[in-house]
């Protein structure tokens, strides 16, 4: 067995001194810092831990902010938190600098937003998915149950086996709200339908666990389910992989995910976080920011189902027609969609 010193030599060899030289050279190198300055409207965006590339929840928020950047000419800076205790320093860092509007994405930032907003009453804040009762905070809430109801009806209309699935990310009231609306919508179409629901996990990690999402989806498909609605953040990618493997349908969430597996993603339940973020920035820039709760439902197209070239062949005309009818009835107040938030 080689001794420690020999091991070290094996690992580092002569390249060690060269490595150090390179490293020191880098230290000595001076570049230019790229900080854009100006009197423009400055927006700080603090994303949830899923990050901007989750192709779902955060991606939608990021897209809205980027659209504001290109269309409204604002200055945008976005950050992703490393741990739950990091939200507050990041929000505070934005507030301390000359940022005009600070947007937090996800309910995990509720306490941090509340604290920082109260300390910086002259700054404007917005929060997605949770309500903070401060005059300088706008809470952006979505009527997920309404959107999920339509998705449930589409799933039931498309299913041939009479069994549909639901895969939630983290088992929390928000996702239960999706599930309840989805089940109600499906039962409206087919009262005998079986809805099988599973959750990826109980912690934040459940938003970013594609293997577990895939495992659950495969089990559901093998049990006779032929459409699965995945409301699971980045874990939904695993559900889509399972759909591809089993040649069955899946339904996306938050962003339009139809393009990720064309021909297999039946539709996506759009949660227009992008619109909410964009509008908030637009109003902020125009000096029309207001606090309080803004709700986005079917009527305001804050939640909707997606239809584009990627699912045009699978989301058939009669199904769409019936979904649109239900949509109109909900908007008209003729259907009372069960809301998990009100029942618990």
Partner 1 sequence: MRKLLQPILAVALGLALGLAVTWIAGESPWHVLKILEKGAFGSGYDFGMTLFYTTPLIFTGLSVAVAFHAGLFNIGAEGQLTVGALAAAVVGAVWSGLSAPLAPVVAVLAALLAGTIWGAIPGWLRARRGSHEVINTIMLNFIAAGLTSYVALYLLKNPDSQNPETRPIGPGYLIHQFGIFGGAPVSAALPLAILAAALVWVLLWRTSLGFEIRAVGQSEPAARAAGIDAGRIRIIAMCLAGGLAGLVGVGEVLGNAGKFKVGFSPEFGFIGIAVALLGRNQPAGILAAALLFGALHKGTADLDFETEHVTRELSLILQALVILSVSADGLWSWMKERRRPVIPETAGGVTC
> Which one, 210 or 330, has the nearer CB to partner 1?
210
CB proximity list for 324: less than 8 A, separation 6 or greater? none
Instruction: Please report how close the Cβ of residue 334 comes to partner 1 at its closest, in angstroms.
Output: 30
Among 71, 202, 222, 247, binds partner 1 (CB under 8 A): 202
Pick from 232, 205, 193: which is nearest to 216 by CA? Answer: 232
Does 316 bind partner 1 (CB under 8 A)? Our answer is: no
Strands 163-170 and 137-142: unpaired
* CB distance 267 to 320 below 8 Å: no
The dihedral through the CA atoms of 319, 242, 261, 150 has a sign that is: positive
Does 131 bind partner 1 (CB under 8 A)? Our answer is: no
Residues in contact with partner 1, shown as a per-residue x/- string from 70 to 89 under the rule CB under 8 A = -------x-xxxxxxxx--x
| # binding residues, partner 1 (CB under 8 A) | 53
Helix (H, G, I), strand (E, B) or coil at 49: coil
Instruction: Please report how close the Cβ of residue 122 comes to partner 1 at its closest, in angstroms.
Output: 17
Does 293 bind partner 1 (CB under 8 A)? Our answer is: no
Does 9 bind partner 1 (CB under 8 A)? Our answer is: yes
Please give the Cα distance from 50 to 205 (Å, whole number): 9
Please give the Cα distance from 187 to 171 (Å, whole number): 22
Instruction: Please report how close the Cβ of residue 37 comes to partner 1 at its closest, in angstroms.
Output: 13
Residues in contact with partner 1, shown as a per-residue x/- string from 140 to 159 under the rule CB under 8 A = --------------------
Among 130, 198, 268, 311, binds partner 1 (CB under 8 A): 130
> Which one, 150 or 169, has the nearer CB to partner 1?
169
| Interface positions, 109-128, toward partner 1 (CB under 8 A) | 110, 115, 119
CA distances from 69 to 62, 64, 219, 289, 304 (A): 10, 9, 43, 17, 24
> Which one, 161 or 203, has the nearer CB to partner 1?
203
Please give the Cα distance from 257 to 213 (Å, whole number): 16
Please give the Cα distance from 185 to 197 (Å, whole number): 14
Q: How many Å is the maximal CA-CA distance in the chain?
A: 80
Kindly list the residues in this chain that would bind partner 1 in the complex (CB under 8 A): 3-9, 11-12, 16, 19-20, 22-24, 26-27, 29-34, 51, 77, 79-86, 89-90, 92-93, 107-108, 110, 115, 119, 129-130, 170-174, 202-205
């Amino acid at each position: 067995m080689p001794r420690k010193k020999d091991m070290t030599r094996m690992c580092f060899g002569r390249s060690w001194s060269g490595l150090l030289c390179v490293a020191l050279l880098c230290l000595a190198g001076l570049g230019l810092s790229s900080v854009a300055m100006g009197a423009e409207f400055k927006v700080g965006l603090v994303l949830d831990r899923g990050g901007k590339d989750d192709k779902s929840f955060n991606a939608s928020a990021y897209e809205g902010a980027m659209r504001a950047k290109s269309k409204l000419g604002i200055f945008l800076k976005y950050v992703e938190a490393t741990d739950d205790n990091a939200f507050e320093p990041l929000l505070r860092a934005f507030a301390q600098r000359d940022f005009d509007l600070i947007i937090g994405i996800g309910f995990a930032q509720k306490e941090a937003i509340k604290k920082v907003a109260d300390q910086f009453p002259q700054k404007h804040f917005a929060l997605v998915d949770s309500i903070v009762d401060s005059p300088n905070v706008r809470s952006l809430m979505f009527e997920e149950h309404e959107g999920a109801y339509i998705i449930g009806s589409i799933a039931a209309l498309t299913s041939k086996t009479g069994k549909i699935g639901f895969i939630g990310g983290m088992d929390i009231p928000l996702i239960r709200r999706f599930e309840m609306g989805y089940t109600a919508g499906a039962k409206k179409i087919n009262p005998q339908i079986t809805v099988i629901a599973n959750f990826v996990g109980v912690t934040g990690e459940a938003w970013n666990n594609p293997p577990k999402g895939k495992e659950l989806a495969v089990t559901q498909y093998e049990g006779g389910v032929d459409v699965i609605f995945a409301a699971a953040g980045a874990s939904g990618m695993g559900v889509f992989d399972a759909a591809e493997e089993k040649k069955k349908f899946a339904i996306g969430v938050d962003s339009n995910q139809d393009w990720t597996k064309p021909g297999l993603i039946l539709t996506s339940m759009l949660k227009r976080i992008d619109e909410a973020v964009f509008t908030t920035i637009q109003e902020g820039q125009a000096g029309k920011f207001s606090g309080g709760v803004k709700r986005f439902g079917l009527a305001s197209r804050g939640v909707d189902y997606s239809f584009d070239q990627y699912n045009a062949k699978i989301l058939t005309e009669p199904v769409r027609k019936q979904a649109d009818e239900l949509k109109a009835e909900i908007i008209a107040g003729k259907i009372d969609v069960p809301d998990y938030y009100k029942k618990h």
